[in-house]
Amino acid sequence: MFLLVNRKSQIVNSRVPSFADELNQRLATLREQGLYRELRRVDSAPGPRLQTGGKTLLNFSSNDYLGLANHSALKMAAVNAIEKFGAGAGASRLICGSLAPFHELEESLAAFKQTEAALTFATGYAAALGTLTALAGKDDVIILDKLVHACIVDAAKLSGAKLRVFDHNDLNDLEAKLQWADAFSKAESGKRKAEIFVVTESIFSMDGDAAPLREIVALKEKYGARLMVDEAHATGILGRHGRGLADALGVSGQIEIQMGTLGKALGASGGYICGRRALIDFLVNRARSFIFSTAPVPAAAAAAAAGIQLSQSPEGESRRGQLKQRVNELLANFQFPISNLTGAIVPLILGGESKALAAATQLREQAIFVPAIRFPTVARGAARLRITLTASHSAADVATLARALASIRSPQSTIRN
Ligand SMILES: *Cc1c(COP(=O)(O)O)cnc(C)c1O
C-alpha cells in the first residue's frame, strides 16, 4: 500500500515541472518580450548623483523633486523621533501605535492642505487601497481616468464596485460615463442608491501632464459624484507653498478625497488622505490597510512633517523655483509631444519596449541614468524614457542630459538644432 502511493506520487511529480522550472519559463517569456526587470543596488543617498555597480551616474529617475530626502532638517527630525519614540511603533494605530509624531504629522498635513483633517498610511499604495475599498462597494460605481496609477486600479478592483474607465483627460468621455453611472444607479428605484466616485491624478505619473481639474469638478458636481484626486506628483511642487494642483486651480475645497504620498517631493515615506473630519473618522473605522497594519516607523512621520514645513518655507519656494528653471531648460532644448507639462516629469515616448531599453542603455554608457518605463507600468508599445528633474540638479546637469538625448533620435521627439 505504502509503495503504491509512493510510486503514484513519483509519476505525478515527473509530469509536473518543478515550481522553479515553471517560474523560470515565465521569466524567459518576460525576457523575450523585453519586460524583464531586476533590482539595481544603489550605494549612495538620494540625490542628483547615484552610485551603483562601482560607477557614479547622473540620476534623472528620482521622485525626490525638491531634494529633501537627504536634507539635514528631515534627517534630524527622523533621528530625534527615533531617540524619543524608538525605531518601531510596536502596534497598529488603533491599538497602541498611534504615537505623537503621527498626530503631529496629520495636524500639519490638514493645515497644509487646508482641510478639516488628515490620515496617514504606511504608503500611498496603502492609502488608495484602504480608502477606495472602505468607501465603495458592489452597489457603487468608480470611474477612473485611463492612466491612473496601479494602486488606484487595484483599489477600485478590490472594492467590488462597478468600474468604468474614461479616456485620459477626456471630459466628453467622462461625462458619458457619468451619465451611464447615474442611469445605472437609478435603474430600479428611480432614486440614486449608489455612490459614484470619479478618481484621477493631478499630474500624471508617467506622462507628466495635468488633469483639467476645474472641469472635472464641474462635471462631478453636475452628476452628484464624489471626486478623489491623487496629487502624488504635484504635492510640494504646484500651488501655494506646494499644496498641489487643486490649490493652484482653486478647486481643492470641492474635492472630497485628496490623496497623496509623503515619499516623493516631501522627501520621506507614507501616504495620506485629506478631507472632512467625517471622512477621516470613517477611514479610521473602515480602511483595512490602515487598521490591520503596524503603524509606520515614527521616524518617517517626523521626517514627513519636516518636509511639509520645508515646503512652506522660503527655502521651499526657492527649491520650487530651481526645479521650474531646470524643467524649462530641458524643455527649451526639446519639443516634447505632450503640451501641458507643468510638474517635474518629462517623458520621452519611444514606443517599442526594446527601443526604450536600448535608449536607456545608451544613456547609461554616458553615465546618465534615466529609466526605461515599460508595460505594465505603461501600455504595451508606449515604452518611454521617464526623465524626472529635481531642485538638486544644476543647469550643467541638465545640459549634459540634453546633449545625450540629442543622440537618441526618435520620430515622436523633434530635436531642435
Ligand atoms: C508613487 C505613487 C503612488 C504610491 O505612493 P507610495 O507612497 O509610493 O506608495 C500613488 N499614486 C501615484 C500617482 C504615484 O505616482
Ligand 1 centroid to Cα of residue 152, in Å, is 9
Minimal-distance CA residue to ligand 1 atom 14: 232
Confirm or reject: Cβ of 258 under 6 Å from ligand 1: no
Q: Is 124 in the pocket of ligand 1 (CB under 6 A)?
A: yes
Look at residue 204 in the predicted model and tell me its pLDDT.
96
149 is catalytic: yes
Is residue 256 part of the annotated active site? The answer reads no
Cβ(271) to ligand 1 under 6 A?
Answer: yes
Phi and psi for 165 in degrees, rounded to 5? -120, 130
Question: Which amino acid does the sequence have at 215?
Answer: E
pLDDT at site 369: 97
Residues facing residue 410 across a β-bridge: 413
pLDDT value of position 10: 54
> Average pLDDT by consecutive 10-residue portion of the chain (417 residues)?
50 76 96 90 97 97 98 98 98 98 98 98 98 96 97 98 98 98 84 90 95 98 97 97 97 98 98 98 98 98 98 98 95 71 89 92 96 91 95 97 84 40
> b/e string for 76-88 if b means 16 or more Cβ within 10 A?
ebbebbeeebeee
**Distance, CA of 7 to CA of 276 (rounded, Å):** 65
Cell 507628466 sits on residue: 208
Could you tell me the pTM of the whole model? 0.93
Model pLDDT, residue 414: 40
Residue 192: predicted pLDDT: 72
Q: Can you tell me the distance from the alpha carbon of 171 to that of 154, in angstroms, rounded to the nearest whole number?
A: 23
Our answer on whether the CB atom of 130 is closer than 6 Å to any ligand 1 atom is no
Give the pairing type, strands 345-351 and 141-145: unpaired
The catalytic position among 59, 63, 159, 169 is: 63
Q: 201 in ligand 1 pocket by Cβ < 6 Å?
A: yes
Q: Is the CB of 263 under 6 A from ligand 1?
A: yes
Query: Is the distance from CB of 89 to CB of 297 less than 8 angstroms?
Result: yes
- Say whether 103 is catalytic: no
Q: Identify the CA nearest to 265 among candidates 64, 57, 40.
A: 64
pLDDT recorded at residue 1: 43
Taking the C-alpha atoms of residue 314 and residue 324, their distance in angstroms, rounded to an integer, is 15
Those residues with Cβ within 8 angstroms of residue 285's Cβ, 6 or more apart along the chain or in another chain: 291
pLDDT of residue 35: 84
For the chain, which domains are there? 33-62+314-415 (3.90.1150.10), 72-311 (3.40.640.10)
What confidence score (pLDDT) does residue 7 get? 54
Which atom in ligand 1 lies closest to the alpha carbon of residue 126?
Answer: 9
Q: What are phi and psi of 205, to 5 degrees?
A: -65, -35
Please pick, among 62, 205, 252, 413, the residue that the annotation labels catalytic. 205
pLDDT at 415: 38
